[in-house]
Amino acid sequence: MIYTLTLNPAIDRELTVTEVQYDSVLSAVKSQVDFGGKGFNVSRLLKSMGMPSTALGFIGGRTGDRLRSGLQALDIATDFVVISGETRTNISIVTEKHDHYIKVNEKGPLVEESSQRELLDKIASIAGPGDWWVLAGSLPPGVPDSFYAQIIAILNEHKAVTILDTTGESLRLGCEAKPFLIKPNAEETHKLTGLPVETTAQIVLAAKELLKMGAQNVVISMGKKGALLQTADESWLVHSPKIQEKNPIGAGDSMVGGLVWALSQGYSLKESLGWGAASGAATASMSGTEVGSRALIEELFQQVTYEAL
């Protein structure tokens, strides 16, 4: 079974206008609502691949109800902890030509310690050997930086397998709990290690430093260049297929989705990252917030190349 965890989800509302003008009333020519959260994006990609998953996290209020209903309408199972606050709403205003935008993200509701404990207990009750867990995204107010590390410790105890995709101090502490795999980008890797990441050789050294911090395996996403896989024994550069990029937002989450799908099917880490690269490229080639289809992902997977370092 695959589980995805999104601790600070949101309803993302995008309004399209002809042009951005300050101190005036703007009329939207188009509006779109999406269910925001890195873990949710992973679940959507898994759904596209025909793989069920269960989405967990914190939700609250009418916004939270709308989010849960929306995911269930997409045939994604949910098992949320309901909190007293209101799930956040993020607003984007973009121009029709996509040359300007304004994005305002709410911090999210305060999550009380009792709700945090409820989620930890829930995870402990459902985690089982061989399950795959994707822990992704930022932490909401009230949740300590050590929370992902606490979850990883529980999952390790139950012999489940963890992929961690977060940033900053929560990533550093999460590494200490020894997750199976982490997926920072190059910039996040630089911030965490303090090492330069201008060249591939430098990124390899930085990835090895992340292994020393506790992660069992490291994938560093490098945008159009592809991604680096660093294990205890091997370094691989996975080159993404060439596409006509339309919207890169969510491509990194699709990479994680393709990666965990392939791992759950028994592919090697190298091949699984190839599926991840194909999944990310497929989503980046789609308009709006669509994720890549299985047919497109399978086609692009044939174009992925691997370079041993």
Express each pLDDT in 173-232 by its tens digit. Answer: 999 999 999 999 999 999 999 999 999 999 999 999 999 999 999 999 987 788 999 999
pLDDT top residue among 217 and 94: 217
- Res. 251: pLDDT tops 90: no
How would you classify residue 34: left for phi > 0, otherwise alpha for psi between -120 and 50, otherwise beta? beta
Confidence band (pLDDT; 50, 70, 90) for 102?
A: confident
Predicted pLDDT of residue 246: 73
Distance CA 289, CA 44 (A): 11
In a domain, 246, yes or no: no
Domain coverage including residue 74: 1-143
In a domain, 233, yes or no: no
**Residue 223 resides in a domain:** no
Domain membership flag for residue 36: yes
Most confident of 110-124, 244-258, 285-299: 110-124
Tell me the sheet residues that pair with 136: 165
Confidence of residue 14 (pLDDT cuts 50, 70, 90): confident
CATH number of the domain that residue 84 is part of: 3.40.1190.20
Nearest C-alpha neighbor of 258 from the set 166, 149, 134, 124: 134
In total, how many domains does the chain have? Answer: 1
The stretch 137-164 carries a mean pLDDT of: 98
pTM (predicted TM-score): 0.93
Please indicate whether residue 34 is annotated as part of the active site: no
pLDDT of residue 98: 67
| Residue 139 covered by a domain | yes
Kindly state the percentage of the chain with pLDDT values over 90: 80
Query: Tokens representing 174?
Result: 């999460």
Q: What average pLDDT does range 100-128 have in this prediction?
A: 95
According to the model, what pLDDT value does residue 92 have?
86
CA distances to 7, 39, 68, 291 from 78, in Å:
13, 12, 7, 19
User: In the predicted model, what is the mean pLDDT of residues 68-85?
Assistant: 96
Give me the pLDDT at residue 185, please: 93
3-state secondary structure 126-166: HCCCCCEEEEECCCCCCCCCCHHHHHHHHHHHCCCEEEEEC
**Cα(24)–Cα(7) distance, integer angstroms:** 36
Would 35 be classed as within a structural domain?
yes
**In this structure, is residue 201 part of a structural domain?**
no
DSSP 199-225: SHHHHHHHHHHHHHTT-SSEEEE-GGG
